[in-house]
Structure 1
């Protein structure tokens, strides 16, 4: 399926049941309970992988809650490399800080600035790469019916990305991000127009829509990869 078709299908997907958009929006703003909403993303992925075109029901909330906790675990584990890289670069930047020396201030300042910019760029690039891999890791977990270990089967995950094609994957991700950015911006504007308090309504609704839209789009792309690697 082409990117345009994936996006078109995924934009329509949440609108098949506005009640569920509202339910998810309410769930997402309630602490602890919001793990149910996060777990709902896994259910959307499972449904899409199964070829279903309707939004799944909010039943068996215990399973949704557990899936939400699993996503938290996956997020923490995948964040560890970024934390390590940031810590190492932080130490290097600290050693090169102009405040740590009293000689050759100009040279040190330049080296510090260059190192700081390069370090920031390295962390951002690493975070993007890890983030892209993490998304497919979550999809793999959904494919294996919530098996947490599937999120760390790196050979499978990288194989799926290779089948999709890094280029197509990144372009799809960027399109999804841009659409969600526009939706969130519009929601914020409308919320402000509604005397500010409208933000309590519009932002959660926009988040709910983007959760559903994004999960559907990426999973549809992943489904194509599964078909090609089957």
Structure 2
């Protein structure tokens, strides 16, 4: 079933390359803050489509319409993520403070153990935040549903915590592999071109710079948006496994 989710998300993310370009442009201007919220809002729409759809269905990619509404949706997603991540952040600060107040190796042991606990809590918080956003989308965007802890815990229990964590870990691994693979392929191509060009008297340095520039463009306008849609679609479909 997890592989079916990945397969669906892979195909779904490539349905409209224009959407990837638009997301890439938003990413380029995300330092202006508003585009960053629009990106989060579009991701929410992808999840909203997924939680109301089925695996291997024929769901279309969301439209870039109602920009103000998409902005508000992005703000809601941001607030949900921040709220859930506050728990591991506060826990980490407490661990650092306690470990720092203890002298010797005991303080180091406290830091290591506390760090591991914080890491586990952080993983759980990230997972609950993602499922919380899906739960909000499934309940017509009701903001309070993102913090309905008992309902979200029930969803996770129905799906299975191990299945959720396995899917989440798989998404991280796939994201890293695809990102590194594309970067490596482009890097190898332009390294070969640079060496060959240098042997023929061309400007090898210029070729390497061009390769870096193209690599950045591909990452920003294709790979990054593609993986963003892939991840949000996958989490949304994971949510449907308990319905």
| TM-score category (smaller protein) | 0.7 to 0.9
Write out aligned runs for 1:1-230 (5 A): 2-31=1-30, 32=33, 33-51=35-53, 53-97=59-103, 108=104, 110-190=105-185, 192=187, 193=190, 194-204=210-220, 205-226=222-243
1:113 and 1:94 mapped to 2: Cα distance? 8
What is the deviation of 1:224?
Answer: 2.0
Question: What is the root-mean-square deviation of aligned Cα atoms in Å?
Answer: 1.6
- Secondary structure, aligned partner of 1:195: helix
Which fold has the larger relative contact order, with Cα–Cα distance below 8 Å and residues 6 or more apart in sequence?
2
Evaluate the alpha carbon distance shift between residue 190 and residue 68 of structure 1 in structure 2; reply closer, same or farther with a 3 A threshold.
farther
- Kindly indicate whether the alpha-carbon contact (under 8 Å) linking 2:52 and 2:138 is maintained by their aligned counterparts in 1: no
2:237 and 2:78 mapped to 1: Cα distance? 23
Please identify, of 35-44 and 110-119, the stretch whose mean Cα deviation from structure 2 is larger.
110-119
After superposition, give the CA deviation of every residue in 1:203-222 in whole Å (9 maximum; x if it has no partner).
22222111111111111121
TM-score, normalised relative to structure 2: 0.83
Evaluate the alpha carbon distance shift between residue 132 and residue 223 of structure 1 in structure 2; reply closer, same or farther with a 3 A threshold.
same
Residue equivalent to 1:104: none
- Kindly indicate whether the alpha-carbon contact (under 8 Å) linking 1:191 and 1:203 is maintained by their aligned counterparts in 2: no
- Kindly indicate whether the alpha-carbon contact (under 8 Å) linking 1:11 and 1:213 is maintained by their aligned counterparts in 2: yes
TM-score, normalised relative to structure 1: 0.87
- Secondary structure, aligned partner of 2:101: helix
After superposition, give the CA deviation of every residue in 1:99-149 in whole Å (9 maximum; x if it has no partner).
xxxxxxxxx2x2122122112211111101111111100111111222211
1:191 and 1:202 mapped to 2: Cα distance? 9
2:126 and 2:91 mapped to 1: Cα distance? 15
- Kindly indicate whether the alpha-carbon contact (under 8 Å) linking 1:191 and 1:201 is maintained by their aligned counterparts in 2: no
What is the deviation of 1:198?
Answer: 2.3
Aligned length: 214
1:123 and 1:212 mapped to 2: Cα distance? 28
Structure 2 unaligned residues grouped into runs of 5+: 191-209
What is the deviation of 1:190?
Answer: 4.9
What is the deviation of 1:181?
Answer: 0.8
- Secondary structure, aligned partner of 1:59: coil
2:212 and 2:158 mapped to 1: Cα distance? 46
